[in-house]
Structure 1
Amino acid sequence: MALVHGLVDLHTHTTASDGMQSPAENVRLAKAAGLAAIAITDHDTVAGVAEAMLEGERLGIQVVPGVEVSTVANGTDIHILGYYTQNDDEKWLERLASLRGTRDERNEMMVARLRELGLSITMDEVRAAAHGAASKESLQSAAVSVGRPHIAAVLLQKQFVSSMKEAFDRYLAAGAAAYVNPPRLHPFEAVEWIREAGGVSVIAHPGLYNNDSLVEEIIRYGVQGIEVFHSDHDLEDERRYLELAESFQLIATGGSDFHGSRQGIVFHGEVGSRTVDVNVLQLLDSARG
C-alpha cells in the first residue's frame, strides 16, 4: 500500500468473463487514463488477475485483485464484489468454480428458451463467442466465465437482433422473453465466502436493484463496503448511498464497471469514468478478513 496519491477504478471486467479487453489491456487503459490503480473484478472468476498484475508491474500501475460474485435474494440478482481474497486458496477457487457451474446451467436454460421461441442458437456457439474473446492466459486457466453478453453476441451475429441492447431488452434482461433465474448463492453466503477467503465484501451497484430495503439487509448482515460511485448511478443515487455508507460505517467504493465496447457502445463506462481516491485501498486492506 505504498500509493498515497491518485485515483483508482475498483470495478472492471475482462475477457476472463464478459469483458471485451484482456486483463493486460485494462491495465494499459488505466495507465492511459492516468489512474494510480485498477481492480479486476470478473464474474465468478479470478482468472484474469495474474495477467493484469504482470502488466501492472511493467507499467507501474497497482492492480487490485477482485471478483464479482453472482447471487440472488428474493428473486433479485445481487452482485457482491470481493477484494484482496487469497486466490491460491483451493476452497475459494472451488467455490468460484461451483458458481460458474450454476451460471452454465442458467445459460443452458436461456438458450433452450430461445430455441423454444424459434431462435436457432446453441451453447457451442455461445461458448465459441466467449472463448473467441478470451485472452490466451484466461483460456489456459480454464476458468473463463460465460454469461448473457456472450448469448447476446450470438443473437447479434445471427441477426436475430440489431443491437446488444435489443438482445437484452427483448430476450435476456430480467422479465424478458428468455430470462430465467435458477436458485443461486444468497448474498449473505457470498459475504461469508469472501471473508473466509481473507477478502473484503462490497455491495456492487446498489442503485440497479431498486430495493434499498434488501440492500440494508445485506449491510446489516455484515458486508464491509458499498459501491457508491458507479456508471449507472446518478447524483441522487450517489448521495443516498454515501449517506448509507456513513451511517453504517461502510467503505465507500466506486468504479466504472467497464466491460469494453460492443458496436461502438461502451458498457457501462470507460475505465476511469468512475473512481475513488487511492486511499480507499488502505481502508480495504485494513478490513481484510
Structure 2
Amino acid sequence: MANIDMHTHSTASDGVNSPAQNVRLAAEKGLGGLAVTDHDTVSGVSEALGEAASHSNFLCIPGIEISTLDNGHDIHVLGYFIDHENAEFLSKLEELRTVRNKRNEKIVKNLQELGISITMEEVTAKRKSSSGNIGRPHIAEVLMEKGIISSLREAFDKYLGKGKLAYAITERISPAEGVKIILDAGGVPVLAHPGLYDQDELIPQLKEHGLAGLEAYHSDHSAEQEVHYRNLAERYQLIPTGGSDYHGVRNGKVFHGDLGNRYSDLITVEKLKSLSIKYR
C-alpha cells in the first residue's frame, strides 16, 4: 500500500508519540509513509528519517506546520520536502516558537482568571520531550488530570478553541509570510484543514504568493467539505492532499483522527516532491 499520511504530530510538538514511534505505527498499519509536520519545529524530522530507513519501501517526508494569523484567525500552513537543516529557516522557527510560548502563557492566565488552578509549570511538565514545543493539547492534559474536563475535545469546545472561554491569540506572521518561509526553505506550501477556517477567499490570495496545495482530506472535514475543497483545488490548480492530523491517544481518545485515516497517494506525493528544491 502506498497510502501516505501527510499530517502527523509527535513529541517534537504536541503529539504523544515520538517521531520514531509514529513511523513504526504507520508501518505496522501498512501505510507507505508519513509526513512529519510538527508545529513550528523540525526537531523530530531526523529521528523519523532514521527510523524510516529501517523499514522497507517506507517514505518519510520532512515537513512542518507553521502557525500564522489572518484578521484574528489562526491559519496553519503545511510545508513538505523542506530543507530541515537550513540555518536561516531554523532561526525563523525559533522566533515563531517564542510567539507560541507567549500565547500559551495568555491562555493559562485566562484559565486562572476563570478560577481554575493551573500553572505554566504544570503545563510544561506535560511535554513528552524536553525539547518539544508546548501547545494547547498540553494545557488540555492538565485540565483533564484535574477533572475539569473529560476529553481533549471538551477542552477545546469549552476553553481552548477559537472564541471559547480561555482562548487567546498573539501577533503572528501572516499566512503569506508562512508560505514564503516554506518556499525559502526549498519546501512546498499547502494550506492545512481549510474547512476549519471558513475563509475560502484566502485560497486564491495565497496561490498568488506560491501556495502549491490544499489539504482537502482531513479528519475534521465532513464528506461535503472534502468534495468542496477537492473542487477548489482543481479550480485554482492546487494539489489536493490528505492527512489525519494525528496527535496520538490521550485519555483513551484520538485527536484529531487516527493515523492513516486520511492520506495521499504516491502520485500526489510525487507531484509535491517535483516542486521542492532539495528533493526533486
The answer to whether TM tops 0.5 is yes
Contact kept, 8 Å, 1:13 with 1:19, in 2: the verdict is yes
Write the distance in 1 (CA, Å) between the matches of 2:258 and 2:82.
25
Percent of paired sites with the same residue = 49
Partner SS, residue 98 of structure 2: helix
Contact kept, 8 Å, 2:204 with 2:236, in 1: the verdict is no
Write the distance in 1 (CA, Å) between the matches of 2:207 and 2:228.
14
Partner of 2:14: 18
Post-superposition CA distance 1:91-129 (Å, at most 9, x none): 100111111110000001111111111111111111111
> Structure 2 stretches of 5 or more lacking a match?
none
Post-superposition shift, 1:216? 3.2
Post-superposition CA distance 1:201-233 (Å, at most 9, x none): 000010111221233322333201111111111
Runs of 4+ in 1 over 4 A off after TM superposition: none
Post-superposition CA distance 1:260-289 (Å, at most 9, x none): 111211111111111111122211111125
Post-superposition shift, 1:39? 0.6
Contact kept, 8 Å, 2:152 with 2:255, in 1: the verdict is no
TM-score normalized by the length of structure 1 = 0.92
2:208 to 200, 220, 228: 220
Whether 1:124 aligns to 2:112 is: no
Write the distance in 2 (CA, Å) between the matches of 1:101 and 1:258.
24
Whether 1:229 aligns to 2:217 is: yes
Write the distance in 1 (CA, Å) between the matches of 2:210 and 2:50.
33
Partner of 2:249: 261
TM-score normalized by the length of structure 2 = 0.95
Whether 1:55 aligns to 2:22 is: no
Aligned residue type for 2:242: G
Aligned residue type for 2:34: I
Partner of 1:35: 31
Post-superposition CA distance 1:172-195 (Å, at most 9, x none): 111111111111110000111111
User: Which residues of 2 match residues 28-177 of structure 1 at below 5 A?
Assistant: 28-60=24-56, 61-130=58-127, 133-134=128-129, 139=130, 142=131, 144-177=132-165
> Structure 1 stretches of 5 or more lacking a match?
none
Write the distance in 2 (CA, Å) between the matches of 1:237 and 1:219.
20
